[in-house]
Amino acid sequence: MTDSEIVIVGAGQAGYQLAGALRDAGHRGQLVLIGDEAELPYQRPPLSKAFLSGAIGAEALTFQQPVHFESKGIDLRIGTRAERLDRVGRRLILADGSDIGYDKLVLATGAANRVLPGSEGIDGVHSIRTIADARAIRERLERSRNAVVIGGGFLGLEFAAVAREWGLAVSIVEAGPRLMGRAISQPMAEAFRAHHVALGSQLFLQAKVRRLIAEAGEISAVELEDEILLPADLVVVGIGVEPHVALARDAGIDCDNGIVVDDRLATSDPSIFALGDCAVFPSRFALQPSRLESIQNAMDQARHLAAVLTGKPAAYDAVPWFWSDQGGAKLQIAGLAQGTDREVLRGDVSGMKFSVFCYRGDRLVAVESANRPADHMAARRLLTAGLSPTPEQAADPGFDLKSLFAAAQPAA
């Protein structure tokens, strides 16, 4: 298997990490990495934070220069789009009509931002997904005074904090009853609501956009359904993503809100695998197969799949974890808070240094931490080991979480 021909479609975090991990794991065969952007593979997380703030430039985003890929024997093809799959002949057909044979194919095709209806063709309306998006937003920041963020998720809130640093008046419009509603608990969402208000942003919860108003093709205002008019010379839309599944779906591979894979990250075609934002996979940390939009998940899955493809198959079992930096407040999450029925707060809530321990029954399933990195690291270790403090222990400020690890060790 180490001499097989492997083709990876998608040169984002997952695809890039997998290519390197395969060589490190001993894969000696041909290795092709295909990316549809003309850019060298680059990091996406800083796009909504350090890059927009001006703290780093585009060169700091790039993972490696071409010489690195050459030295690793990775055939990197950027600006190349995969058109369709011939599963019978095991050929990947490219947009230019050429094709590549494979023994194993990996789909790391990622996802695309949802488009706000009625926003097409209006200058000043953006989303954040690619470096081209971020460049356009940064240029617009330099000449804007009023920004409207549509969608109160991680990306939108990270941008809102940066826009406040630039001195813009910021309005955040969220259709749900709380910020980051699909990802975090009510107590943590309330703390971040107060944090963004303290930064100077206006928040509109349970609010919907009626229309975008443009003058001479440029955004000038956002009208909400209750007729509130928000002035805007910059709008950033963050209303979720859609996984790129067309290549798999059109080839008859099972898809359901993503490309469906098993615990080895194999699709319904045993010679084709998927990972990262596009893959729906089973996990002991979730109530049902899930698709995680997380850089850490992409990296963990890349290392796991490299082992599978070089003859060391095992079930993927990494603890999901996430982070978001929002104007001096760092949110870190370990685990998945699906179907939880009890929340325990630990730390200083008013000082924005606390954690929410999320339980399903008496079992800890997730921990959300605001500016409490020690809690986050302990939570990752607890969830990996399958250990759970009782809700009473988590609520006790004097209880040392590390004592659970000592208790779990066999006596000498």
Q: What would the pLDDT profile of 88-132 be if each residue is shown by its tens digit? A: 999 999 999 999 999 999 999 999 999 999 999 999 999 999 999
Rounded to an integer, the average pLDDT of 362-385 is 96
Q: What whole-number distance in Å separates Cα of residue 199 and Cα of residue 161?
A: 7
pLDDT at 407: 61
Rounded to an integer, the average pLDDT of 318-329 is 96
Q: Does domain 115-237 have CATH number 3.50.50.60?
A: yes
Q: Please tell me whether residue 50 adopts helix, strand or coil conformation.
A: helix
Assess whether pLDDT exceeds 70 at residue 86.
Answer: yes
The DSSP secondary structure of 111-166, one letter per residue, reads: EEEPPPTT-TT-BTEE--SSHHHHHHHHHHHTT-SEEEEE--SHHHHHHHHHHHHT
6-112+241-309 shares its CATH topology with 115-237: yes
Q: Are 298 and 12 in contact (CB under 8 A)?
A: yes
Exposure letters 91-110 (e unless 16+ CB within 10 A, then b): bbbbeeeebbebebbbbbbb
pLDDT at 263: 95
pLDDT at 99: 96
pLDDT at 406: 74
Rounded to an integer, the average pLDDT of 216-231 is 97
Percentage of the chain modeled with pLDDT above 90: 94
- Residue type for position 21: A
- Residue type for position 263: D
pLDDT at 321: 96
Q: Which residues contact 351 (CB under 8 A, 6 or more apart)?
A: none
pLDDT at 3: 73
- How much is the pTM? 0.94
Assess whether pLDDT exceeds 90 at residue 409.
Answer: no
pLDDT at 338: 86
Between the alpha carbon of residue 134 and those of residues 47, 129, 232, 261, 379, the distances in Å are 6, 8, 18, 32, 33
Residue 128 in tokens: 């954040």
pLDDT at 411: 45
Calculate the average pLDDT of the chain: 95
pLDDT at 187: 96
Quote the CATH superfamily of domain 6-112+241-309: FAD/NAD(P)-binding domain (3.50.50.60)
pLDDT at 412: 41
| Cα 412 off chain centre by | 43
Sequence spans of domains, the chain: 6-112+241-309, 115-237, 337-408
Rounded to an integer, the average pLDDT of 224-253 is 97
Measured over the CA atoms of residue 22, residue 254, residue 277 and residue 242, the dihedral's sign is positive
Of 15-19, 71-75, 143-147, 336-340, which gets the smallest average pLDDT?
A: 336-340
CATH code of 337-408, in short, is 3.30.390.30
Strand duo 259-260 + 279-280: pairing: parallel
pLDDT at 182: 87
| Cα 161 off chain centre by | 18
Assess whether pLDDT exceeds 60 at residue 410.
Answer: no
Strands of 175-267, DSSP E: 202-205, 209-215, 218-224, 229-231, 234-237, 241-243, 259-260
Taking only the tens place, the pLDDT of each residue in 261-277 is: 999 999 999 999 999 99
Rounded to an integer, the average pLDDT of 337-351 is 94
Rounded to an integer, the average pLDDT of 74-94 is 97
Residue located via tokens 């971040």? 192
Q: Please tell me whether residue 190 adopts helix, strand or coil conformation.
A: helix
